[in-house]
Amino acid sequence: MALDRWIALIILGICMAYGYAAWFMMDAGMAPFMRRAPIWPSTFPKVLSVIGIVTCLIILLGLEKGQAKIGEIDYRRLTDYHLGQAVLLLALMAVYALCLRPLGFLISTMGFLMLGSAILGERTWILMAVVAALATGIVWYLVQEVLGIYLRPLPGFVVGG
C-alpha cells in the first residue's frame, strides 16, 4: 500500500475516535436547556469528523487519483524531499507553544511567523517583519476584542502580570 494510503488509514482511525467522542460522549453532560438549541457545542466536531472520514475513505479507495501520477510521494526517496525544513518547522511549532505564556502572544507569534518564513526560504526581512506584525496584530485584535477571549499580548514582566 502506498504511503498516502497508510497515512489516510491512520488519520481515519483518529477521525473515527474523534467522531465517536463527538457523537456519543460530548452531548451526555449537556444541560437540559441546551438540548433544544439548533447548534450544540458538539456540532462543529461532528462536522469535522464526518469530513475527515469521507476524505480518508476517498484516499483509501483511490478515488482522488486520475490518470497522471505527478507529485506522488515516493517513500523510498524521502531524502530527496525537504525533510530538514519540515523537521525545523515542527520544532519551531513546539517552541512557539512553549513561548506563548512567558513571551506573550504578540512577540511569540511574530517570532514564529518570521522564523517560519525564513526556514521556508524568504530572505526579505523587512517584508517578513511587516507581514508578521500585520498578521499578528489582526489576529490578536479579532481574538481579544471581537471574540472577547483574553490573550496576554506581552510578557508578564512588561505588563505587570
Residues 57 and 103 in one domain: no
Residues 74 and 139 in one domain: no
Which of 60, 80, 100 terminates a domain? The answer is 80
Residue scoring higher pLDDT (106 or 155)? 106
Contact between 79 and 93 (Cβ < 8 Å): no
Residues 110 and 154 in one domain: yes
Which of 39, 62, 80 terminates a domain? The answer is 80
> Percent of the chain scored above 70 by pLDDT?
89
Distance from C-alpha of 110 to C-alpha of 34, rounded to nearest angstrom: 39
pLDDT, tens digit, for every residue of 93-124?
999 999 988 898 999 999 999 999 999 988 89
Residues 8 and 71 in one domain: yes
Residues 48 and 101 in one domain: no
Angle (CA) 123-124-126 rounded to 5° is 140
Residues 68 and 90 in one domain: no
Considering the entire predicted model, what is its pTM?
Answer: 0.56
Q: Could you tell me the residue range of the domain that residue 23 belongs to?
A: 3-80
Residues 60 and 88 in one domain: no
CA dist list (Å): 50 to 9, 29, 39, 96, 131: 15, 22, 16, 30, 35
Using DSSP's 3-state secondary structure scheme, residue 38 falls into coil
What integer pLDDT is reported at residue 69 of this predicted model? 58
Which of 80, 104, 139 terminates a domain? The answer is 80
Residues 11 and 75 in one domain: yes
Grid cell for residue 53: 472520514
Contact between 32 and 38 (Cβ < 8 Å): no
- Total structural domains within the chain: 2
